[in-house]
Amino acid sequence: MSSISTRNIKVLFWVNFFGTISFLQPVLTLFYLKNGLSEADILIILLCWSGAVLIGEIPTGVFADRFGPRLSFIVGSSIKLSSIGVLLCAESLPMFLLFSFLNGLSVTFFSGADEALIYESLKKDDQHHKMDQAIGNIQSAGFVAMMIAVLFGSFLAKDLQMQEFKLLIVLSMGAYIVEFLLLFLIREPEVQLTISDNTSLRKVVEGIKVIKKAPQLLLMFLNLTLVFIPTVAVFQKFDQPLMIDAGLPVYLIGSVYAVGALLAFFSSRSIGLLHKKFTYTFLMYASGFLSAIGLVIAAMFQNQLWVMLFVVLFLRWVGAIRYPIYSQLSNNMIPTYVRATTISLLSILDSLFDLIVFIVLIGFAREGTQGILIGAACIAMIGSFLPIKDKSLRKKQGSRAFNH
């Protein structure tokens, strides 16, 4: 790799490190409950976050394509800082909903634009075939950050006092300020990553055409998201009470998360090694099916502490390899000039499926946590059956798309 891809990957590694630090994460559910929120209120907060992503994806994707990834990141980071400020003062459900909406909106300014920047930087250096390794390396920073944050967070909030929660929020805000400053070090490659004047609508239309001409891209995305939502968005919102109910002390939650982050870190950093032994399609299928089985095991043995610990760690390890592989396969299919917009369109579908899955699981919630886990396993299994094809669209899109 030459300078621009090396530089941007290093900067994004540290951006991801500081940007994903959340000292409140290991006790977030307990923080909500401490403020008098019910399980239904927490679900509404999740729906609000997904709704913000749904609303913001297209406008922010077009924004990134028009004005460049760096400016998009800076705006998104500013909104995230604002959301943490709201959280620091939140004492009622409307304030928590505002925090969730702003936080979800901030994510959309990174969604698509980060992959576009990485892929085009690698492409500039003729290294775009290393997209999976680059994404894995950058993603691993988040796992390192998680290891640090959850250990400190669970220890500092071991008494579950409000002043302890406030301290964790302030520490997290400090990390996000560092992230904001690092974003100014990004260098954008000299390619057509931006557009001018009245072409926003045309870019959205072009992005839709790319998806329509590539049904395998859509199916592969659904394979990813229908496994991701049950195992991450759903299960990781319930794993804290599951572990506590199985007998784990609160102050040890951070240690479990840290071990999981360590496993995920090595998993993300070993994508290239795994690819030498297994095909991308095999890894996607295997990780999906194993994730669904893990949810079933958690539902059947939720009162067994060692079983629950194994499932929590196993799902974090398995889940870490899926996105880098998907990113490599999907970006091979998307033309340069609508890359961020197309990825954002897919993220809109992800938000829609968030809402659908949450609503479906409300029906399973009549049987308690076990019902939710069984329902989540069924959804993950359906997603795992959707076909994966390692096929580039370069020939179909032609030289215009890739030399625009």
Q: What is the CATH number of the domain that holds 115?
A: 1.20.1250.20
**Residue 189 pLDDT exceeds 70:** yes
pLDDT surpasses 60 at 172 = yes
Q: Tell whether 10 is covered by a domain.
A: yes
Tell me how far apart the alpha carbons of residues 261 and 244 are, in angstroms, rounded to a whole number.
Answer: 19
DSSP codes of every residue in 15-28 = HHHHHT--TTGGGH
The confidence score (pLDDT) of residue 171 equals 94
Q: pLDDT value at position 340?
A: 61
Q: Hunting for tokens 């909903």 — which residue is that?
A: 97
Residue with tokens 């396993």: 377
Measuring CA to CA, how many Å separate 160 from each of 29, 88, 170, 246? 11, 16, 16, 19
Exposure of 1 by Cβ count < 10 A (0-12 exposed, 13-18 middle, 19+ buried)? middle
Residue 194 belongs to a domain: no
Q: Is residue 42, in this structure, part of any structural domain at all?
A: yes
283: exposed, middle or buried (Cβ count in 10 Å: 0-12, 13-18, 19+): buried
CA 256 to chain centre: 20
| Domain count of the fold of the chain | 1
Phi-psi region of 334 (alpha: psi -120 to 50; beta: other; left: phi over 0): beta
As a whole number, the mean pLDDT across the chain is 80
Helix axes 3-19 and 113-124, enclosed angle (nearest 10):
160
- Domain, as residue range, for 164: 3-188+203-402
Question: What is the average per-residue pLDDT within 143-167?
Answer: 85
Looking at per-residue pLDDT, the higher value among 90 and 332 belongs to 90
pLDDT tops 90 at residue 242? no
Quick one: which of 401, 209, 374 has its CA closest to 298? Answer: 374
CA distance 309 to 259: 10
- Answer whether residue 208 is part of any domain: yes
Residue 196 lies in a domain: no
Say if 213 falls within a structural domain.
Answer: yes
Predicted TM-score (pTM) of the model is 0.69
pLDDT band at 270 (very low <50, low <70, confident <90, very high): confident
Coil, strand or helix at 276: helix
pLDDT of residue 333 exceeding 70, the answer is no
Whether 195 is covered by a domain: the verdict is: no
Residue 197 lies in a domain: no
Rounded CA separation 277/279 (Å):
7
- pLDDT in the model for residue 346: 77
Q: How far apart are CA 364 and CA 44, in angstroms?
A: 17
